[in-house]
Amino acid sequence: MYFPAYRPRRLRKNEHFRRMIRETSLSVDDLVSPLFVTSGKNVKNPINSMPGHFQMSVDHLVKEIQETKGLDIPAVLLFGIPEKKDDLASAAFAKDGIIQQAVRTIKDRVPDIIVITDVCLCEYTSHGHCGMIEKGDVSNDITLEVLAETAVSHAKAGVDMVAPSAMMDGQVGAIREALDEEGFTGVPIMAYSAKYASCFYGPFREAAESTPQFGNRKSYQMDPGNRDEAIREISLDIEEGADIIMVKPALPYLDIICRAKEEFDLPVAAYNVSGEFAMIKAAARSGWLDGEKAMMETLISIKRAGADIIITYFAREVAILLSGQR
């Protein structure tokens, strides 16, 4: 069909027409809200680079999650900030660790929400890397043992899903095997399958207090220039037992999200990371763009690319907007 017989503007002339033919829409069901939990009581420390977000003690975290559930957001993703860090990341798998405490309390107080836990070590190691250091480098296979032990400790606390993010080779298989051996065959794994070495993690590292004390994470996180490697990484995680695959960050890697959705028959998650959130907030504060519209356009682009699940610091704002509660 060609002009003048075909005029695409006919179906754009008012909001009702636009709604009728809209190909992609965003729902509260798509959202996961990431939250930061820290030790102590009555703690609610603002995160300067992430307006509206806080490091929270468990008592405040429970209140936050109750409100999150009230907005019909189906899931939260927890990151822990321990009281003490060491070279062995011992607080990551401790029975009374901050995440373990938080999971038990949430499942007792707010049982009807999915609790997902990040399984990584960077928040718990004194050096800030995602694994065990041996001869000045991150040891892949030793780290697998600690990641597996950490995942099992989360499962024992009652977590609904674990999300390994350390980008160690074989991490999904090691965790799946450990969970199954301990009787947690029903706990799914959302794998950070294609996690890039990105500058967009800066605000998160402030929030989680997880900046590496030496070097960087380029030896285990992916090179931003690589596309085919992402598909290999995803394939490996699926073979090892991943239930959901993830691409992180989202906006600079929409092509990877799209390709993952086209090539694999599993739910695809995308992490709209802290730097993506902070950019929009900063620009909106300066009056350079409409923050609400930029938020919605960003998340629609991630959904349009193929994401079934969007982990985003905008989750509560979006849920309020979609529900018309403003």
Q: Assign 23 to helix, strand or coil.
A: coil
Bridge partners, residue 191, by sequence: 245
Beta bridge partner(s), residue 119 = 164
Nearest-angstrom CA–CA distance, 33 and 40: 22
- Find the Cα–Cα–Cα–Cα dihedral 254, 257, 261, 264, rounded to 10°: 150
Measured CA to CA, the distance from residue 240 to residue 172 in angstroms comes to: 6
Q: Is the bond into 224 cis (omega within 30 degrees of 0)?
A: no
CA-closest candidate to residue 125, choices 165, 162, 174, 84: 84
Short-list 249, 245, 304, CA closest to 272: 249
C-beta separation of 241 from 189 below 8 A: yes
Instruction: Tell the residue number behind the tokens 């160690």, with chain if given.
Output: 168
Neighbouring residues of 82: CB distance < 8 A, sequence distance ≥ 6: 39, 91, 92, 97, 98, 123, 124
E-strand ranges in 196-264 read 244-248
User: What is d(CA 146, CA 120) in angstroms, rounded to the nearest whole number?
Assistant: 9
> Which residues have a catalytic role annotated?
195, 248
- CB 59 within 8 Å of CB 50: no
Q: 214's torsion region: left (phi>0), alpha (psi -120 to 50) or beta? A: beta
Residue type at position 114: I
Q: Are strands 31-38 and 309-312 parallel, antiparallel or unpaired?
A: parallel
